[in-house]
Amino acid sequence: MWRAILRLIAIVTVLLVGALLFVADREMPREEMVAKYGGPPSQFVALPSRATAHYRDRGDKAAHALVLLPALNDSLYQWEPWASTLSDQFRIVTVDLPGQGLTVPAPDEDYSYERVVQFVDEFATALELENFALGGNSFGGFMAVHFAIERPERVTHLVLVSAAGIKNPENRPP
């Protein structure tokens, strides 16, 4: 009797795993993703490096801008609570990094730190942001730090939320 129950459990488990793999394995075409998630207030801008960035720009355009970078394998949507809370006081610009969210993958598949810094620089220039506050979460925080080091003249403030790869000088936990 126990063998029959174990066999039934094994069959049900295999069927459930198969059903989950079937559902999870389907990739949504880009056009469908843009139609579903890229409507207003989303915008797209073509950059000199041939990248096309997906972003949202909210708040008073004359206010000081805060550009927010998402975590790796995340999108600008992670910043929605921040954007809705802060956009009455600041210009809040959220952007998907190359190959994430609705921003197209890098044309040359170069995702190096230098290229992401270049992407953020081109993006800010396209939006006519001479200098701005820059924030990031996880990998976005890591890239915000690299951008601030490489382009200090453009960054007025740095906001880090659980930034990846940041250690204190003694290399000890805080």
pLDDT digits (tens, 9 = 90+) for 65-121: 999 999 998 999 999 999 999 999 999 999 999 999 999 888 788 888 899 999 999
Strand arrangement, sheet containing 132-137: 42-46, 52-58, 91-95, 65-69, 132-137, 155-161
Q: pTM surpassing 0.85?
A: no
Q: What is the pLDDT of residue 3?
A: 78
- Which one has a higher pLDDT value, 108 or 171? 108
pLDDT digit string (tens) for 118-156?
999 999 999 999 999 999 999 999 999 999 999 999 999
